Every structure is written in C-alpha cells, then in structure tokens.
Chain A
C-alpha cells in the first residue's frame, strides 16, 4: 500500500509540473497563436515516442525574491523520442514559465540533452521561445548561454542540429540557432534580433516594428539566417520531418536509403533549357527532372535566389544540389550566393552527402556595392568549400561557365570526380561578345563597318571556342552528354563514387575565408 501512495505522489508532482506556467499563462500562449512547448514536441516526434527528463529540476536563484518563486521545469522541456522511427534529442523552451527566460538550471537541462545527442550520435532539435536571459540570475544566465554555444560548436559537423524559432529569440540567445545547421521560422511567430526595436529607437532614433526588424520573412529573404519558412507551426513541423528524411543521423553514417523512383513524367529535361545562353529558365525544373519522384527540398528558398541549394534523392540515395539560377540575376555569383553555397557544400561534406553542381553562370556580379561588400572574400568561400570537400563531387555544365565562375563551380581543377557538359555548353574565359571585342579589337576598329565586323567576329569566336570540346580535349570535362542522359549518368556517378576516399594533408584545421 505504501508503494501505491508513493506512486500517487509522483503522479501528483508530475501533473503539477506538466501544467508549466499554469492555465492563465497557457491561455496567453494560445492567444498568441502558439502551441505549448510539450504540444510542439509531440507534433514533431512520432506518436507516443516522447520521454521527458529533468521534469523536477528547480532553479536555485536566491536574489530578488527568486527563492519564493517556483518555476516548473525551470522553463524548458527536454527529452528524447523518435522521428521516422529513429531516435532524436529535443528541447523546447516553455514561454509559459517566466517567459521561457534562460536561467542557469534551464541551460543545464539543455546542455545535458545536447551532450546526450552528441554522445549517442543523433540529431538535436531545439525549439526557441524565450524572452532572453533571466536577469535575476545575472552572470549565471550568461554562463548558461555560453555553455550552449560551446556545445553547438562541438557538435557541429558531428550530428545534424536543427533550431526552430517559435517565439522571440533575442540578444545573445540568437547565437545558438546561428551556430546550428538549419533554422526554421514561422510567419508572424518567429522573432530574432540582437537588439530590439526599443533599444534601436532610443539609441539610434530609428523606428521599426519587431516584424520588420527580425521577423520570419526578414530572416528568410534578407539576412539568410533562416533556412526554412512556414506559414504555420504545423507546416514547420512537416518541413522538419521532411528535412530529416534526407539526412544521416551523424557524420559516421549515410542517410537512410529510400525506395528509388523515377522523376515525374511531366518534367521533361529536353524542353526546359533555352539554347540561347542569354535566356532564363528555372533551374529547379531541371533538378526535378533528375531526382527521384521529382521531389526536391530547397533550402533557403527566398534568400540569394541566384543560387539554388537543396536535397534530393537519386536511386534512393541523398544528394545535395548546388545550382546557378539563370532566372534570378542571370545566375551570377555574388556575396550572398557565395555564402549560401559555401555553407551548404560544407554541410554536405560533413555528412557524407554527394554534391551535384549544375553550372550555368555568366560569372560574378559587377558593381561597387559588391566589391565593397567583399565579394573577393565571400567568393573565395566557394572555392574553399569545394576544394576541401571530400565527398563525391559531380558537375554538369548546362550552358555557360565563364571565367572565375567556371573554376568556382566545382570544376575539375578543384578535384571534381566527374564533370559532364551538355553539347551547348560554353566554357570560356568570358562571354563571346566580350572576348571578341578584346581579341579582335584592331580588326573591328579598322573595319569599314565595325558593327558588322564585330558581329562576324563574335560568331567566329562562338564557333571556335564557345563549346565544350576545347575543355573536353584537355580532359577537363569527362564527357559531353545528351541532356536526356543526365539523370542516368548522375546516378551512375553517385554509385561508383560510393567508396570514395581521399587523404588531405595533416592539419589541425584549415582557415577558410569566413
């Protein structure tokens, strides 16, 4: 009988804690259009798979009357569960408890589950919904943040780390998501900034709403801090599950092989790309002609749209795509697109995901703004990331590959494993118009009709050099292929590269142009 009594007591204690900040606070949370921390976890994980730990953790702050305050679970819910029947670690800040503010014990719960995910080699999902540091705890709260950032860094490249911003995430708190691999945001719910609108107004006299300063759209379109944008929390949770279907559980594994399938018949690879290299098309249509089921998960869809990155499967195996997008800014490389591509390449490399590069770019974006924004430094990241990557690297040159852009987009010279080119590919130092103007300047200037001569010379240059055969003659390209052969050859290339091994010079770490 005595045991039963103890069990009853446990149940009672649990029930108390599970209420978080209490009915009123939960009602407030719901009124803001948000789910509660535990509801969120349950929605992401497989049904009935969640096990919560550290339910009875209490803070030990004494100052400012904190000793009289009971904060259930210290404002954060942590535990393990499964997604696609595979184990994951998860934590969710509970805004109903002291605004999800981060105290020392709160941070200890998070770092404990982080340590667990790193040890047990499984992805970590962190749901952020917090007013920030618990000011009453002073420097202990800052220590908590620091311990989290440190673990984010340790785990980087070992296990996939996912951050979900479902409420405010302000001040130092933003740096944990920024150190993780993928940041998910939800329209009108997510808010991320270092200094809020109030401070900006008093210090700088600039007035701005929270949404315009650091809302979901801002981070998806302008800053590039977010990787996935959703209209609702439910959509966001589906995106997380979808992403995880493409990822391995750690850097020691490969992603789960899914059932292979063909691309949808409605995507016809021979009808997408205009033969004139000055004409745009949507490169995502091209990717959908290649991947199983035409199922392509784009990452950072709205930011730096002149490059397209994302995951797909070929023959059931996960591959990462990096593609110039002729539809936006003619597919040029610039500061943002270089950053976007470089980070993605490094993610794929860390997690054993082969990289497929579809090339169609006129080069780098000209302009004072680009030069002053450091396009040299940023552009170098792409070269660095490709050169350093040891996963299978496969390139298809679709149309143009001019100048530095040709080199940067996983060329043979950066040790691509396979380089294919479509018959219409133009591999050259620059576009035929520019090249002809320089090479034949004398002839053009001295001609009776310079315009006619220029056109003639452009045509001559195009015929002689703007093709894949000059590069193929040097072995820079392995084969010139028909567009219809693309998927088959990529599938083959991925298969034969499966056991690729490369040894890099011994070093502690390189120094990428961050």
Chain B
C-alpha cells in the first residue's frame, strides 16, 4: 500500500464538486488516503506539520540553550564513541555532551565561552 498526500486539486473531482452548494465558499484541498482522493479542508496543525528529515547519527544538536564551559575535542580529531566532547551549562546544570559515534570531527561550531541556542548544530562526526 502506497500512502501519500497530494495537494494538487483533481480536475475530475473539482467539476463534480461545483454542484454542491455547501462547499462552494470553502477552499477545499485534496487529501489522499490509500488510493482514494478526498475533497476536504485542512487544519492549521496539519498544514504546519513538519516534514520528516532523518538526522544522521553523527550530528550533535543542542537541546537546550546554554553557555559552553569546555570543549574537549579539536577539528579533524579522530574520536571514539562515548568520549566527552564538551561541557555546557544549561538549566543550572553542567551538561556533558558525549561523542555519539566513532569517527572524525568534521564540523565543530563551538568554543569555550560561546552561548549556544536550542536546536543549534554543535558538531558533526564523520
């Protein structure tokens, strides 16, 4: 079963729909469920839903804003899974960030004293 969503109006449905008065004033869209397309309206939440993007295991993204106290790795350094990468203070806690995978530090966006935001890319291990 292929499940997909299509937003382009189906001309066939469009023609049939014009006969129904209660829907005329609404901007209808097409929602496909299984192989069937339905005329309907969308909710704000549905329209604003985030598209799924897979996160590679080597990308380290900050989950809280905070201040960097120490960075224990250098660019291009070969690192091992479990090794400490940096310490930053957030929510009144000293948080240790750990290298998630074996590899080489490809990107390192932080240095001691930096303030990191939520969702910021801290480092990437290749």
What's the Cα separation between A331 and B33 when bound, in Å? 11
Q: Are B64 and A278 in contact (CB under 8 A)?
A: no
> B1: CB under 8 A from chain A?
yes
> A496: CB under 8 A from chain B?
no
B37 to chain A: closest residue by CB: A278
B91 to chain A: closest residue by CB: A203
What's the Cα separation between A19 and B50 when bound, in Å? 52
- Kindly identify which residue among B4, B52, B65 contacts A369, using a CB–CB cutoff of 8 Å: B52
Q: Are B65 and A368 in contact (CB under 8 A)?
A: no
Interface string of A264-293 (1 = CB under 8 A from B): 000000001010101111100100000000
Q: Are A369 and B49 in contact (CB under 8 A)?
A: yes
> B98: CB under 8 A from chain A?
no
Q: Are B37 and A369 in contact (CB under 8 A)?
A: no
> B76: CB under 8 A from chain A?
no
Q: Are B35 and A274 in contact (CB under 8 A)?
A: no
Q: Which residues of B contact A282 (CB under 8 A)?
A: 22
What's the Cα separation between A368 and B51 when bound, in Å? 8
> A205: CB under 8 A from chain B?
yes
> A213: CB under 8 A from chain B?
no
Q: Are A281 and B20 in contact (CB under 8 A)?
A: yes
Q: Which residues of A contact B22 (CB under 8 A)?
A: 272, 281-282, 285
Q: Which residues of A contact B91 (CB under 8 A)?
A: 203
Q: Are B49 and A367 in contact (CB under 8 A)?
A: yes
A278 to chain B: closest residue by CB: B38
- Kindly identify which residue among B1, B23, B40, B44 contacts A330, using a CB–CB cutoff of 8 Å: B40
Q: Are B16 and A434 in contact (CB under 8 A)?
A: no
Known: A204-B64, A279-B20, A330-B31. A438 touches B42 (CB 8 A): no
Q: Are B5 and A433 in contact (CB under 8 A)?
A: no
> A472: CB under 8 A from chain B?
no
Q: How far is the CB of B119 from chain A (nearest CB, A)?
A: 10
B49 to chain A: closest residue by CB: A369
> B72: CB under 8 A from chain A?
no
> B43: CB under 8 A from chain A?
yes
What's the Cα separation between A321 and B34 when bound, in Å? 28
Q: Are B52 and A276 in contact (CB under 8 A)?
A: no
> A336: CB under 8 A from chain B?
yes
Q: How far is the CB of A329 from chain B (nearest CB, A)?
A: 6
Q: Chain A at the B interface: mostly helix, strand, loop or mixed? A: loop
Q: Are A327 and B33 in contact (CB under 8 A)?
A: no
Of B1, B20, B26, B38, which is in contact with the most chain A CB atoms at under 10 Å from its CB? B38
What's the Cα separation between A462 and B39 when bound, in Å? 19
B34 to chain A: closest residue by CB: A434
A432 to chain B: closest residue by CB: B36
Interface string of A389-402 (1 = CB under 8 A from B): 00000000000000
Q: How far is the CB of B43 from chain A (nearest CB, A)?
A: 6
Q: Which residues of A contact B118 (CB under 8 A)?
A: 204-206
Q: Are B33 and A431 in contact (CB under 8 A)?
A: yes
> A299: CB under 8 A from chain B?
no
What's the Cα separation between A280 and B65 when bound, in Å? 45
Instruction: Please provide the chain B residues from 20 to 73 with a CB less than 8 Å away from any CB of chain A in the complex.
Output: 20, 22-23, 26, 28, 31, 33-46, 49-50, 52, 64-65
What's the Cα separation between A430 and B35 when bound, in Å? 9
A335 to chain B: closest residue by CB: B45
Q: Are A366 and B5 in contact (CB under 8 A)?
A: yes
Q: Are A329 and B40 in contact (CB under 8 A)?
A: yes
What's the Cα separation between A425 and B31 when bound, in Å? 20
Known: A204-B64, A328-B41, A367-B49. A433 touches B34 (CB 8 A): yes
Known: A205-B117, A329-B43, A367-B49. A434 touches B38 (CB 8 A): no
- Kindly identify which residue among A326, A365, A434 contacts B35, using a CB–CB cutoff of 8 Å: A434
Q: Are A330 and B38 in contact (CB under 8 A)?
A: yes
B17 to chain A: closest residue by CB: A279
Q: Are A368 and B52 in contact (CB under 8 A)?
A: yes
Q: Are A332 and B33 in contact (CB under 8 A)?
A: yes
What's the Cα separation between A351 and B15 when bound, in Å? 46
Q: How far is the CB of A4 from chain B (nearest CB, A)?
A: 63
A304 to chain B: closest residue by CB: B43
Known: A281-B20, A327-B41, A329-B43. A431 touches B34 (CB 8 A): yes
> A305: CB under 8 A from chain B?
yes
Q: Which residues of A contact B41 (CB under 8 A)?
A: 280, 327-329
Instruction: Please provide the chain A residues from 349 to 384 with a CB less than 8 Å away from any CB of chain B in the complex.
Output: 362-363, 365-369, 372
Q: Are B65 and A205 in contact (CB under 8 A)?
A: yes
Q: Are B43 and A328 in contact (CB under 8 A)?
A: yes
Q: How far is the CB of B42 from chain A (nearest CB, A)?
A: 7
What's the Cα separation between A206 and B64 when bound, in Å? 11
> A306: CB under 8 A from chain B?
yes
Instruction: Please provide the chain A residues from 296 to 340 with a CB less than 8 Å away from any CB of chain B in the complex.
Output: 304-306, 326-332, 336
- Kindly identify which residue among A205, A221, A274, A434 contacts B36, using a CB–CB cutoff of 8 Å: A434
**Further pairs besides A329-B31, A367-B5, A434-B34: 13, Cβ < 8 Å:** A204-B64, A204-B118, A280-B28, A281-B23, A282-B22, A306-B43, A326-B40, A329-B43, A363-B33, A367-B49, A431-B33, A433-B34, A433-B35
Per CB-CB distance, the 9 closest pairs between chain A and chain B, nearest first, are A434-B34, A431-B36, A433-B35, A330-B38, A366-B3, A368-B52, A434-B35, A330-B40, A205-B65
Q: Measuring CB to CB, which residues of chain A are less than 8 angstroms from any residue of chain B?
A: 203-206, 221-222, 272, 274, 276, 278-282, 285, 304-306, 326-332, 336, 362-363, 365-369, 372, 430-434, 437-438
Q: Measuring CB to CB, which residues of chain B are less than 8 angstroms from any residue of chain A?
A: 1, 3-5, 13, 16-17, 20, 22-23, 26, 28, 31, 33-46, 49-50, 52, 64-65, 91, 117-118
Q: List 21 A-B contacts (CB under 8 A).
A: A221-B44, A274-B20, A276-B16, A278-B36, A278-B39, A279-B16, A280-B40, A280-B41, A281-B20, A306-B43, A327-B41, A328-B42, A329-B31, A336-B45, A366-B5, A367-B5, A368-B52, A369-B52, A433-B36, A434-B34, A437-B35
